[in-house]
Amino acid sequence: MMDHEKVNILLVDDQPAKLLAYEVILKELGENLVAAASGREALEYLLKNEVAVILLDVCMPELDGFELAAMIREHPRFQRTAMIFISAIQVSDVDRLRGYEMGAVDYVPVPVVPEVLRAKIRVFAELYRKTAQLERLNAELEHRVRARTLELEESTARLIESEQRRSMAIAAGKMGSWDWDWVNGDWMWDEGQYQIFGVEPQSFEVTAASVEAMLHPDDANALRHGMAQFAKGTTSYEAEFRVTRPDGEVRWCVGTAAATLDKGGRVVHVSGVTVDITERKRAEERQNLLSREVDHRAKNALALAQSIVRLTRAPNVGAYIQAVEGRITALARVHTILSLSSWQGAEIKRLIDEELAPYFEAGQIKLSGAEVQLQPATAQTLALALHELVTNSAKYGALSTLSGRLSIGWEMQGDFLMLAWEETGGPMVRKPTSRGFGTRSVIASIESQLGGKALFDWRSEGLVCRLLVPLVRQAATPEQDDPRDAMAFDPVLRIVSGSAGS
C-alpha cells in the first residue's frame, strides 16, 4: 500500500441523514467512504473488505454499537481496526468503559464538530496506512531471508558436486567426507571431517559409538534412525545435525549419505559428505532476530503514538494538532538518540539538550549531574515528561520571558534517578486549583508507566518539579523505607539551588 492509496472508512448509522452528514464532513480527507445503514450491513462489508477506521453509532435497532464492536473484535482480521463511537445521548463512564473494552479508541459526542471528527479520522487512517506499510516491509524481509536460504542450499549442492571447491572447503575445515564399511564396521575420515568435529586423527578413534557421542543429544536419535533405513532399502539420506566438539563448541552441519549395494541388493558400503553450515545458521538467526526487533520497535512506536492521540485534549482543533505534533516530535527526537546507540539506551543529558536546545543560547538554562544511561523504555517515557515541562514553562513559566531561569539537576541514589526541575525569575506563579493536562501527563508518565514519583511545588517565584525514576524494577520489602518519599528529593534540590524545597 503506497502513501497515496485510499483506505476504507466505514460509516455505520441507521439514519440516512446522519450518514450523509458524515460523508460531507469527511469527503475532503480523500479516503474511500463506505456507508452502512445497519450492523448486519456493516458486518457483510467487513467480511469482504479491509477497513482502516469504523465510525459507529451507539444507539441502533437490532444490533447496537457495543454489540457490533464486540462482534468485529472477535474477528482476527479486525482486532487492531480503530473504532470511534458517536453518541447523541450523554454517555456514562460505565458506557465509556464498556466501549473501550469492546475496542473503541475514542468517543465523539453529538453535535459533531466537523474539524475534530476529520482530525481524529485522519490520524487513525494514517496510522493504518503506516502499519500496513510496515507489515509489507516485514513480509518482504521474510521473503528475502527465505530466498537467501534457498540460494545458500543450492550453493551447498554445487559445492558438493565440484571437486575443486571441495578441496578448498576441506582446507578451510568447512567440508569433509567419510566412508563406512557396512560389513566389518571400518570407518575412513578425510582431513575435513576431522576438522569439522574438532578432533585429531592421532588421538580420535572413529567408531559408530565415538561419532554418536559427539552428536547433539537432540539429533542423535534422528541420525541413528536415518542410517538404520539403509538396511530397509533406502539408498540415500540427508539431514541437518549438530556436533559438540571436545572444547564445547557446537557446530551446525548438513550431511548427505549414499549406500552401495551388492548384486543381491544388500548394503555393503556407505559414503557421505559433511558440510559445516554454522555461519549460515548464525546469519539466519541474526536475520530472524533483526526481523523480530524491527517488528517489536514498530509496534511499540505505533502503540505510543496511538496513546498520545487518544489521550490528548485541547480547547480547539488547532491546539489539538499542535499538542499532538509536539509530543510526536519529542518522541521522534528520543528515537533518533536511541537509534544512534543501536537501541542500547540514551544518556539523560542528551535527552535534556535535545528538548531545551532553543533556550540554551539565551543563557537561561543551568544543568548539573553525572552521566546516567537510561534504558530505551525509560528514555522514551522521561522524554515525553520533559517535553510537557518545557512546553508548560515556555507558555506560562520561566522560559516564557528572557529574565526567567531554569535549573535542572540529577543524581543516582541506588537504583533510582533523582531529578529536580526548578524555575525562577519568570511570571509570578499561583498554585492551580486543578491539574492541567501537562501536569497529569507528567504524573501519568512517571508514576503509571515507570512506577516512579512526580511532585509539583507551585512556589510564587517559580515551579519546582521533583521526579524519582526507578532504573531497575524492585519489589519493596516491609523493612525498607519507600525511597519515593518526598524527603528523598532534598539532596537533588541542593544540586540545582542553594536551598532545599520542603
Angle at 480 between CA 474 and CA 483, to 5 degrees: 70
pLDDT at 450: 84
Per-residue pLDDT reduced to its tens digit, 172-219: 557 888 888 888 888 888 888 898 899 998 999 988 888 888 888 888
Going by pLDDT thresholds of 50, 70 and 90, the confidence category of residue 419 is very high
Percent residues over pLDDT 90 in the chain = 12
Mean pLDDT for 57-79 is 75
Cα 274 vs. chain centroid, distance in angstroms?
39
DSSP secondary-structure letter at 29? G
SS (H, E, C) 439-479: HHHHHHHHHHHCCCEEEEEEECCEEEEEEEEECCCCCCCCC
Q: Count other Cβ atoms within 10 Å, centred on residue 60.
A: 20
SS3 371: coil
- 231-234, Cβ contacts within 8 angstroms, sequence gap of 24 or more: 231/267, 233/265, 234/259
* More confident site: 464 or 262: 464
Would you state the cell numbers that stand for residue 417, as one nine-digit string?
534517578
pLDDT at 498: 37
Per-residue pLDDT reduced to its tens digit, 298-350: 555 555 455 455 545 567 777 767 666 665 665 566 566 655 555 567 788 88
pLDDT at 168: 56
Query: H-helix or E-strand containing 415?
Result: none
* More confident site: 355 or 11: 11
pLDDT at 308: 52
- Where on the phi/psi map is residue 173: left (φ > 0), alpha (ψ -120 to 50), or beta? left
- Which has the minimum average pLDDT: 23-27, 281-285, 291-295, 344-348? 291-295
pLDDT at 476: 37
DSSP secondary-structure letter at 190? -
Distance CA 477, CA 472 (A): 15
pLDDT at 425: 92
CATH architecture of 344-496: 2-Layer Sandwich (3.30)
Task: State the sign of the Cα–Cα–Cα–Cα dihedral 154, 160, 162, 166.
Answer: positive
Q: Is the pLDDT score of 132 beyond 50?
A: yes
Of 39, 44, 46, the residue nearest 12 (C-alpha): 39
Average pLDDT in the chain = 77
Mean pLDDT for 229-243 is 84
Is domain 8-137 classified as CATH 3.40.50.1820? no
Per-residue pLDDT reduced to its tens digit, 466-489: 999 998 754 333 334 444 333 333
Distance CA 371, CA 470 (A): 16
Of 305, 314, 310, the residue nearest 115 (C-alpha): 314
Helix axes 317-340, 278-311, angle to 10 degrees: 160
pLDDT at 369: 92
Going by pLDDT thresholds of 50, 70 and 90, the confidence category of residue 137 is confident
* Residue corresponding to grid cell 534422528: 222
Please name every residue paired with 56 in a beta bridge, in sequence order, or none if there are none.
Answer: 12, 85
Q: Which residues, at least 6 apart from 463, have a Cβ–Cβ distance to it below 8 Å?
A: 392, 393, 397, 398, 421, 422, 423, 429, 456, 457
- Which has the minimum average pLDDT: 4-13, 251-260, 327-336, 433-442? 327-336
Q: Give the gyration radius of the chain's Cα atoms.
A: 33
Burial degree of 437 (CB within 10 A; 0-12, 13-18, 19+): middle
* More confident site: 277 or 314: 277
Would you state the cell numbers that stand for residue 445, as one nine-digit string?
508518565
pLDDT at 392: 83
Q: Is the pLDDT score of 101 beyond 70?
A: no
pLDDT at 119: 87
Q: Count other Cβ atoms within 10 Å, centred on residue 82.
A: 25
Q: Which CATH superfamily is domain 162-276 in?
A: PAS domain (3.30.450.20)
Helices (H), ranges, 397-435: none
Going by pLDDT thresholds of 50, 70 and 90, the confidence category of residue 490 is very low
Per-residue pLDDT reduced to its tens digit, 109-122: 778 888 888 888 88
Please name every residue paired with 412 in a beta bridge, in sequence order, or none if there are none.
Answer: 417
* More confident site: 161 or 179: 179
Domain boundaries, the chain: 8-137, 162-276, 344-496
pTM value is 0.38
Cα 427 vs. chain centroid, distance in angstroms?
42
- Which has the minimum average pLDDT: 23-27, 125-129, 312-316, 386-390? 312-316
Per-residue pLDDT reduced to its tens digit, 351-395: 888 777 767 766 888 999 998 888 887 887 888 788 888 888 888
pLDDT at 33: 92
* More confident site: 222 or 64: 222
Distance CA 285, CA 334 (A): 28
* More confident site: 66 or 252: 252
Distance CA 186, CA 170 (A): 22
Of 491, 353, 357, the residue nearest 420 (C-alpha): 491
pLDDT at 294: 56
